[in-house]
């Protein structure tokens, strides 16, 4: 049996082969801890949910471009490639001629799949730049709040989001980790672009085996790594800031704070202290005050603060905490708490962000140059913070505030998506559907009939990573994987590069887009350019042909002894930060000058405006799924085996379930102020009473597709979440938390239809 061709995915390298028409996927010998997500890949390529032919929505084809609420429930008509290319080229020309390039919204947020050349966002951005540019989106759904806040606090050249302190430093020096959001190992399976060796979970295991105390502050026990000295501290969701402030209060009033560090390394401690002690607002931030908010006993907060001061303590915050209303506050308050302890810059002390959020956080920081497809230049200024997409479509030309500025939404007439799934990633699907009825034309490139593809006017069938050759690489990974094509695309599907090349030809700019290169020419070009860039960095990768036949190449391993802000803490005069004060800004005059009541000038406890109520008494955690990446391959085994009654499982505490007459395995209806969905109940004491947990990523399955506010029959959590920014500062995604109620479902049980293609796209049998 041949070993299979090397290829890669966001969840790691693999080998794949086709024998007797069967695609088989095996782990790659490079990876000692292959991810369970690999099991999703074998059946995906030939699945009936594949888009096999170019498709156009009937209403758009017959009536022409224009706003339409038929999107998402209209029939599709199969066209041939030449017709699709001509229609799409003419529509792009029309929109540019009439409204200008800013009327093309090409943000196209999403993870696509691994491979640097076929990276869908790079492809679509390069194409749209070739035809004059597009309105773009900035920042991510992942770290929307932190990526705007942290440059104000630590300066723009400290990348505190991606875990600047190595796992091995924590293993050697840290004696206590206080982990807000826990250290969920499930999230370490993936990294954007791939992860050759899954080393994070093993590194975490070593830290715990070595006797480091972990206090996992989280509503979900599943976020606690296994180990004898791991303590679960259940907290009410969205209240971590109150607990952090109370911990700081105990340290300051007990004279356990590091005055020297606060005076010489930080700016604005006086304001923070006035707030902590109650001089600013009359409310001392005592453990008793915090107990009422967080549900964590005052005595426990008090004891924990003393332990933190007595240990080499690492204050860790998962990204999830900032994906909520006022999401700027948790990371800022955690930095303030770590500063009060005075251990920032000491090996194993200080602040960390994203440990347990992403597979490459805590690994050696390489900052590799990557082989990438040049995206060209975008002359259009118009932009939105990424999670304001529905707001933009519903309010063309309206003003919005962002990071101290006032801007206007572009008037998007054509929405272009390639490599992302807004019906997975965006909040409040009912509102998103009304927003997507607004533009003249929606274009979606997709391998699968996701809800996003179903809401398109023009559907472009894309090849998957098995159906093309590419180079797998990611930011902290020492390996480049030669991704060999494993099989041909089904039907008429083809790579996004081929589609854009044909479109560019129809619009008279083929050479500008392709630079007359085939797929293989481009792989060689971007590889050789990369080889030139890394040469001299103690690395000597082989020429392209050698790399390609070897299947991968590897840079020397980097040391992971990096400590965030070590040099600065050691000598703050020689190593100034790029903040206005040159120091860590525990209070920011810049942010204060913006005058935002939703993001004041220092870390502040702000009561969420849509917290639990009589109608929606439970808080739902909409966290990342353990057994898939986002919505990807939801129809495949590793994801399907987790479903309950065919629906996404919702975790509930028995004491919340019993009074509601809900049994384990039963079908439930979850409702919020925004909408509702069905889910399958799982009762467990591993979730804090008052909380329920439903992962993101179940494909949207409206019971009544013609109704934008239809309940989802399959458990898409974003039918429930609210579409509001974190604050006027960052306008980040707030999808992590929503107030809900849950009841048992009565009456007939609707079938799950999420993975069945829409009308007009008859499912073809698997090849």
Ligand X SMILES: Nc1nc2c(c(=O)[nH]1)N[C@H]1C(S)=C(S)[C@@H](COP(=O)(O)OP(=O)(O)OC[C@H]3O[C@@H](n4cnc5c(=O)[nH]c(N)nc54)[C@H](O)[C@@H]3O)O[C@H]1N2
Residues that bind Mo ion (CB under 5 A): 142
Residue nearest to Mo ion (CB): 142
Alpha helices in 326-386 (DSSP H): 329-341
- The reply on whether position 357 binds ligand X by CB under 6 A is yes
- The reply on whether position 147 binds ligand X by CB under 6 A is no
Given ligand X, Mo ion, none, residue 447, with its beta carbon under 5 to 8 Å by kind, binds ligand X
Residue 418 near residue 172, CB atoms below 8 Å: no
Q: What is the x/- site pattern for ligand X, positions 162-181, by CB under 6 A?
A: ------------------xx
Instruction: Give me the least distance between CB of 483 and Mo ion, in Å please.
Output: 22
Q: What are the φ and ψ backbone dihedral angles of 524, each rounded to 5 degrees?
A: -65, -45
- The reply on whether position 710 binds ligand X by CB under 6 A is no
Most distant pair of Cα atoms in the chain: their distance? 75
Size of interface with ligand X, in residues (CB under 6 A): 63
Q: What is the CA radius of gyration of the chain?
A: 26
- DSSP tag of 343: -
Residue 63, SS3? helix
Is residue 115 left, alpha or beta, with left meaning phi > 0 and alpha meaning psi from -120 to 50?
Answer: left
**Which stretch, 21-29, 182-190, 199-207, 288-296, contacts ligand X (CB under 6 A)?**
182-190
Closest CA to 376 of 118, 123, 95, 96: 123
Given ligand X, Mo ion, none, residue 184, with its beta carbon under 5 to 8 Å by kind, binds ligand X
Binder to ligand X among 364, 371, 420, 757 (CB under 6 A)? 420
Task: Mark whether 111 is an active-site residue.
Answer: yes
Q: What is the x/- site pattern for ligand X, positions 323-342, by CB under 6 A?
A: x-------------------
Residue 193, SS3? coil
d(CA 445, CA 413): 18
- The reply on whether position 450 binds ligand X by CB under 6 A is yes
Instruction: Give me the least distance between CB of 386 and Mo ion, in Å please.
Output: 11
Residue 380 near residue 133, CB atoms below 8 Å: yes
Q: In what order do the strands lie in the sheet with 12-19?
A: 5-9, 12-19, 22-27
Of residues 223-242, those binding ligand X (CB under 6 A):
223, 235, 237-238, 240
Instruction: Give me the least distance between CB of 475 and Mo ion, in Å please.
Output: 14
Instruction: Give me the least distance between CB of 140 and ligand X, in Å please.
Output: 6
Binder to ligand X among 68, 129, 147, 218 (CB under 6 A)? 218
Q: What residues contact 287, with CB distance under 8 A and at least 6 apart? A: 246, 249, 250, 298, 299, 301, 302, 305
Structure-token match 């800013």, residue found: 102
Given Mo ion, ligand X, none, residue 371, with its beta carbon under 5 to 8 Å by kind, binds none
d(CA 653, CA 149): 35
- The reply on whether position 189 binds ligand X by CB under 6 A is yes
Given Mo ion, ligand X, none, residue 420, with its beta carbon under 5 to 8 Å by kind, binds ligand X
Question: Across the strands, what pairs with 652?
Answer: 683, 692
Among residues 240 and 648, whose Cβ is nearest to ligand X? 240
The number of angstroms, rounded, from the C-alpha of 130 to the middle of its chain's C-alpha atoms is 28
Q: What are the φ and ψ backbone dihedral angles of 86, each rounded to 5 degrees?
A: -65, -45
d(CA 235, CA 219): 5
Task: Mark whether 616 is an active-site residue.
Answer: no
Among residues 68 and 718, whose Cβ is nearest to ligand X? 718
Among residues 142 and 619, whose Cβ is nearest to Mo ion? 142
Among residues 136 and 630, whose Cβ is nearest to Mo ion? 630
Given Mo ion, ligand X, none, residue 625, with its beta carbon under 5 to 8 Å by kind, binds ligand X
Q: What residues contact 44, with CB distance under 8 A and at least 6 apart? A: 464, 633, 635, 636
Given Mo ion, ligand X, none, residue 739, with its beta carbon under 5 to 8 Å by kind, binds none
Catalytic annotation, pick one of 11, 60, 111, 449: 111
Catalytic annotation, pick one of 11, 109, 530, 605: 109
Q: What residues contact 332, with CB distance under 8 A and at least 6 apart? A: 149, 153, 602, 603
Query: How many helices (H) and strands (E) would you count in the chain?
Result: 24, 29
**Which stretch, 25-33, 125-133, 331-339, 447-455, contacts ligand X (CB under 6 A)?**
447-455
Q: How many CA atoms, within 13 angstroms, populate the side-chain half-sphere of residue 739?
A: 13
Residues designated as active site = 109, 111
For ligand X, the binding residues (CB under 6 A) are 110-113, 118, 120, 141-142, 180-182, 184, 186-187, 189-190, 217-220, 223, 235, 237-238, 240, 318-321, 323, 357-358, 418-421, 424-425, 427, 445-448, 450, 462, 496, 621-626, 629-632, 696, 717-718, 721, 735-737
């Amino acid at each position: 049996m041949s070993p299979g061709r090397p290829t890669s995915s966001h969840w790691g390298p693999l080998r794949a082969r086709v024998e007797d028409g069967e695609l088989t996927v095996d782990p790659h010998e490079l990876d000692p801890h292959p991810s369970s997500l690999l099991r999703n890949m074998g059946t995906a390529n030939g699945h009936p949910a594949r888009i096999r032919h170019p498709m156009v929505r009937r209403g758009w084809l017959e009536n022409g471009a224009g706003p339409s609420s038929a999107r998402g429930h209209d029939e599709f008509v199969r066209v041939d490639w030449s017709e699709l290319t001509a229609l799409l080229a003419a529509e792009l020309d029309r929109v540019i001629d009439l409204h200008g390039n800013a009327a093309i919204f090409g943000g196209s947020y999403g993870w696509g799949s691994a491979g640097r050349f076929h990276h869908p966002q790079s492809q679509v951005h390069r194409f749209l730049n070739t035809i004059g540019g597009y309105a773009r989106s900035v920042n991510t759904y992942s770290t929307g709040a932190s990526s705007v806040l942290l440059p104000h606090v630590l300066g723009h050249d400290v990348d505190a989001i991606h875990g600047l302190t190595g796992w091995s430093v924590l293993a050697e020096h840290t004696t206590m980790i206080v982990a807000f959001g826990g250290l969920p190992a499930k999230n370490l399976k993936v990294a954007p672009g791939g992860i050759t060796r899954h080393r994070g979970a093993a590194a975490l295991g070593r830290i715990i085996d070595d006797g480091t105390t972990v206090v996992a502050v989280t509503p979900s026990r599943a976020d606690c790594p296994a180990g004898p000295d791991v303590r679960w501290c259940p907290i009410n969701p969205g209240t971590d800031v109150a607990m952090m402030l109370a911990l700081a209060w105990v340290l300051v009033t007990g004279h356990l704070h590091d005055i020297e560090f606060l005076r010489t390394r930080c700016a604005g401690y006086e304001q923070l202290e006035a707030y902590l002690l109650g001089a600013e607002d009359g409310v001392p931030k005592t453990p008793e005050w915090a107990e009422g908010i967080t549900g964590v006993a005052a005595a426990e907060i008090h004891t924990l603060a003393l332990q933190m001061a007595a240990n080499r303590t690492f204050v860790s915050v998962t990204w999830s905490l900032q994906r909520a209303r006022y999401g700027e506050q948790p990371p800022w308050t955690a930095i303030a708490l770590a500063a009060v302890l005075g251990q920032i810059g000491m090996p194993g002390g200080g602040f960390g962000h994203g440990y347990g959020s992403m597979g490459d956080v805590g690994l050696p920081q390489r900052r590799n140059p990557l082989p990438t497809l040049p995206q060209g230049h975008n002359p259009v200024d118009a932009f939105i913070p990424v999670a304001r997409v529905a707001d933009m479509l519903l309010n063309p030309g309206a003003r919005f505030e962002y990071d101290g500025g006032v801007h206007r939404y572009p008037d998007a007439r054509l929405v272009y998506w390639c490599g992302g799934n807004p019906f997975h990633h965006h909040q409040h699907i009912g509102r998103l559907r009304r927003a997507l009825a607004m533009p003249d034309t929606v274009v979606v490139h997709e391998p699968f009939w996701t809800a996003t593809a179903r809401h398109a006017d023009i559907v472009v069938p894309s090849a998957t990573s098995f159906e093309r050759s590419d180079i797998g690489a990611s930011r902290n990974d020492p390996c480049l994987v030669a991704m060999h094509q494993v099989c041909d695309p089904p039907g008429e599907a083809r790579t996004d590069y081929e589609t854009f090349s044909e479109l560019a030809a129809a619009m008279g700019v083929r050479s500008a887009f392709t630079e007359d290169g085939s797929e293989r020419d481009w792989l060689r070009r971007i590889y050789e350019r990369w080889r030139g860039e890394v040469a001299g960095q103690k690395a000597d990768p082989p020429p392209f042909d050698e790399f390609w036949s070897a299947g991968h190449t590897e840079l020397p391993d980097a040391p992971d002894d990096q400590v965030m802000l070590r040099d600065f803490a050691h000598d703050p005069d020689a190593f100034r930060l790029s903040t206005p004060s040159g120091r860590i800004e525990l209070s920011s005059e810049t942010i204060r000058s913006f005058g935002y009541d939703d993001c004041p000038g220092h870390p502040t406890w702000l009561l969420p405006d849509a917290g639990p109520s009589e109608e929606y008494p439970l808080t739902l955690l909409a966290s990342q799924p353990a057994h898939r990446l986002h919505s990807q391959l939801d129809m495949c085994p590793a994801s399907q085996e987790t479903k309950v009654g065919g629906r996404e499982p919702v975790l509930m505490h028995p004491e919340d379930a019993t009074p509601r007459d809900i049994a384990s395995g039963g079908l439930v209806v979850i409702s919020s102020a925004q909408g509702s969905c069905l889910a399958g109940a799982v009762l467990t004491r591993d979730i804090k009473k008052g909380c329920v947990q439903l992962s993101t990523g179940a494909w949207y399955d409206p019971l009544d597709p013609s109704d934008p506010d239809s309940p989802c029959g399959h458990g898409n959590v974003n039918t429930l979440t609210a579409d509001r920014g974190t604050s006027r500062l960052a306008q980040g995604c707030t999808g992590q938390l929503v107030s809900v109620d849950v009841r048992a479902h009565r009456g007939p049980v609707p079938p799950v239809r999420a993975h069945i293609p829409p009308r007009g796209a008859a499912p073809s049998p698997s090849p």
